[in-house]
Amino acid sequence: MFKYFPHTNTDVKEMLEATGAKSLDDLFRDLPEAVKYQGDLDLPEALSEIEIRQKIGELALRNQNLISFRGAGSYDVYTPSVISALTSRQEFLTSYTPYQPEIAQGTLQYIFEFQSMICELTGMDVANASVYDGATATMEAMFMAISQTRRNKVLVSGALNPRVLNVLKTYARFRNVELVILEADDYHTSLASVKAKLDTDVAALIVQNPNYFGVVERMDEIANLIHENKSLLIMNVDPSTLSVLKTPGEIGADIACGDAQTLGIPLNFGGPYVGFMATTEKLLRKLPGRIVGMTNDVDGKRGYVLTLQAREQHIRREKANSNICSNQSLMALHTVIYMSLMGKQGMTEVARRAYNNAHYLYNKLLQTGLFLKVTDQPFFKEFVLKTYLNIEAMNKYMLEKGILSGLNLEKDNPQEEQEILFCATEMRSKAEIDNFVQMVEAFHVR
């Protein structure tokens, strides 16, 4: 007997009798013989928990945890202890999608709270219940704009995260959408670069803020230009910066999207994270994914339901904008708890620390004389520096010290200097930063 299977011999006998089948094999008599598998499955034999802890424990030791100075789309953020205590509750963890709202008010309410908080941070009118990740959220936003404007071209900032761009490219190709990537002059999205490519075929412009290079984009004039052209402005944003930075709503963006990993979700080797999408009242019905709405029950009691489902794929079938079925519900809960714990004050405090840590690191690195500025553009918690040092060798050296150094941008560069993207979040202490800079100097002299 196996611990997940309750069927005793007696059970099997009684149940077979009830079904009229002669044996368990007989239950598969409707399968042609030719498709019945006769081979030997290439799986190990069952392991007990003791053995699993041992085996996977050993395997995990072939991974290394590092002190991170690397961002580029995934950030080492503070994860309060309360979060896992709550998200591991079986009512949240093992429940299904809230299609029977009467017994899913827990899920529906926290999603309503998530939607509310995302709207508060982004300054937008409506948000959905979350989508898979920031890259697919941006892709969905792109198709919203195409559907709304009935135009087929999308301008993309040259300062967009290349991994997000890769996803846009893949989906755009299959739907014959023309992507035009703007020149990233001076590590940001310039008005001139937008003007150069804007025409009446453009459905939208996608800009990231802070952008891939950490730079804070100045958006007001660009927003005006885009809207004069009757195109939409899509902003891919980092919600952990939005307690401080001008919001997509204030800028006049039509769609705000991105990854909410920075709201307390661990690095998780890339997933699970959680994508979010928020938009204006006007575009509400073009928003893919699930949306929770408030309503009353027959007794007048306040409650929550999935709403606007007619938009969703299972009703509109091929007319739907998107095929997204699920969200990343438990990860949305993770971020709601984070935002509740941190609150107004905490969100601002975290943003401030990340900003200050990054600027401290920036100045200390420049002081070593081993790095050069590449731009005067304002940045938030990431920045690019040029160096004559061999980045690969330095990064390898850092690994041995248990440090994950900045990302080698490997840009095509006619000169010999190379570029490196550094990051410092609220998790880095002054001591860690000082130590890192010392290690850089140590690397240089060895």
Q: Is 444 in the site for other proteins (CB under 8 A)?
A: no
Q: For 388-429, where are the alpha helices, taking DSSP H only? A: 391-400
Residues 119 to 138: which contact other proteins by CB under 8 A?
A: 119-121, 123, 125-127, 129-130, 132-136
- The letter for the amino acid at 273 is Y
Interface of this chain with other proteins, residues 36 to 95, rule: CB under 8 A: 36-37, 40-47, 49, 52-53, 55-57, 59-66, 68, 70, 72-74, 76, 78, 80, 82, 84-86, 88-95
CB 275 within 8 A of CB 262: no
Of the ranges 181-189, 190-198, 239-247, 366-374, which one interacts with other proteins (CB under 8 A)?
Answer: 239-247
User: Which three-class secondary structure string do you get for 191-213?
Assistant: HHHHHHHCCCCEEEEEEEECCCC
DSSP state of 89: S
Q: Which amino acid is at 442?
A: A
Among 328, 335, 387, 425, binds other proteins (CB under 8 A): 328
Token pair listed for 162:
């290349």
377 in contact with other proteins (CB under 8 A) = no
Is 397 one of the binding residues for other proteins (CB under 8 A)? no
Question: Under a CB-based contact definition with an 8 Å cutoff, are residues 154 and 172 in contact?
Answer: yes
Among 256, 347, 384, 420, binds other proteins (CB under 8 A): 347
**List 294, 366, 393, 442, residue binding other proteins (CB under 8 A):** 294
How far apart (Å, rounded) are the C-alpha atoms in residues 139 and 144? 9
Determine contact, residues 239/210, Cβ cutoff 8 Å: no
In the list 178, 231, 346, 367, the residue contacting other proteins (rule: CB under 8 A) is: 346
The CA radius of gyration of the chain, in Å to the nearest whole number, is 26
The residue within the footprint of other proteins, chosen from 199, 363, 430, 434 (CB under 8 A), is 430
Indicate which single residue of 180, 191, 320, 374 sits in contact with other proteins (rule: CB under 8 A): 320
Q: Is 30 in the site for other proteins (CB under 8 A)?
A: yes
Does 353 contact other proteins by CB under 8 A? yes
Least Å distance, CB 277 to other proteins, is 12
- The answer to whether 411 contacts other proteins (rule: CB under 8 A) is no
Distance CA 425, CA 409 (A): 19
Kindly tell me which residue out of 154, 223, 235, 305 binds other proteins, with binding defined by CB under 8 A. 305
**Helix or strand holding residue 239 (H, E):** none
Type of residue found at 299: D
With contacts defined by CB under 8 A, name the span among 199-207, 240-248, 368-376, 434-442 that binds other proteins.
240-248
Total residues in contact with other proteins, by rule CB under 8 A: 200
Which sign, positive or negative, has the C-alpha torsion 77, 80, 81, 83?
negative
H or E segment and range at residue 236: strand 232-237
Residue 166 burial by CB count (10 A; 0-12/13-18/19+): exposed, middle or buried?
Answer: exposed
Interface residue with other proteins, options 192, 230, 372, 378 (CB under 8 A): 378
Buried b (16+ CB within 10 A) or exposed e, 32-59: eeeeeeeeeeeeeeeeeeeeeeeeeeee
**Is residue 150 close enough to count as binding other proteins by CB under 8 A?**
no
In whole angstroms, what is the distance from residue 382 CA to residue 38 CA? 56
431 binds other proteins (CB under 8 A): no
- Which of positions 165-184 make contact with other proteins (CB under 8 A)? 166-167, 169-171, 173-176
50 vs 445, which CB is nearer to other proteins? Answer: 50
For residues 215-234, which are near other proteins according to CB under 8 A? 216, 218, 220
Q: Does 9 bind other proteins (CB under 8 A)?
A: no
CA dihedral 57, 59, 62, 66 (to 10 degrees): -50
Binding map of other proteins across residues 244-283, x = CB under 8 A, - = no contact: xxxx--x--------x------xxxxxxxxx---------
Site membership for other proteins, residue 313 (CB under 8 A): yes
